[in-house]
Amino acid sequence: MLERKSQAAYDFNLYLSVQIVATILSFVLTTWYIICIDKLTFKIAKHALTIKSQSRELLVEKRLSEKLLFQMLPRNIATALKETGEVTAECFQEVTILFSDIVNFTEMGSRSTPMQIIDLLNDLYGLFDDHIEKYDVYKVETIGDAYMVASGVPVLNGNAHASHICNLALDLQQLMKEYRVPGSFQRKEQVKIRIGIHSGPCVAGIVGRKMPRYCLFGDTVNTASRMESTGQGGRIHLSSDTYKLIKQTGIFTTVLRGVVTVKFSLAAVVTVGDSNYARLTG
């Protein structure tokens, strides 16, 4: 009888010990599990915040890239390039192209520091950029002191391209009457520009991959450049093709200058003015 009681007490103590160990083990495992879950949750939350931050930075970078793309290319061309990855070159039957450059720029550069020249071009072309926004034109590029603008490309505007370019040219020449070199120059001399304009067909398309540019090609570009290089300081020099287009509007006054040779052919050229301006540019 005594042995049975001892055995029962032993069994009870063993059972109780097992239960205590099981309870302790369960508590330890549960605590460890909770700690692991908590750490995992913290890591997931931290990773989510990192992804959110990176996504925000990526969105900012994307917007900056798009902004830069739209500054480098016409809006419709930039949109097409972003959506399809390529833009096919187009032929335009008639556009008007303007070239301008600074009179005596080489001589000015020889007596100025490189920083002064950079200040001059940034200041001057900043003013030009502000003025071209008033017209249906697109700034194609600047190379040194040369400034190239076109109208009728890449968006067609009927026959209005010649008038937009000529109005812009008059606006720029009017601006130059009061313009003086920036403060970094010791001599506050007046700066004059030559402007040449021509109308005709051209081909336009994207050139380059890393730094894509919207470029214009054809004899129209060369002739417009020739109109500028054979022009006079402070004057607007345009070809007979452009003259025929603006003559229809009746709002410009022109003076026949003469004939120049352009690629082994003769072209009548005129200077243009507008009754809204103080003096005839001719």
- Whether 101 has a pLDDT exceeding 50, the answer reads yes
Output 263 or 157, whichever has higher pLDDT.
157
Residue burial 207-217, b: 16+ Cβ < 10 Å; e: rest: eeeeebebbbe
pTM greater than 0.85: no
Asked if 165 contacts 149 with a C-beta cutoff of 8 angstroms, the reply is yes
Confidence of residue 92 (pLDDT cuts 50, 70, 90): very high
pLDDT tens for each residue of 262-275: 664 445 555 555 44
User: In the block, which residue shows the tokens 């187009």?
Assistant: 90
Confidence of residue 198 (pLDDT cuts 50, 70, 90): very high
Structure tokens that stand for 60 in this block: 């900012």
Average pLDDT over residues 104-111: 86
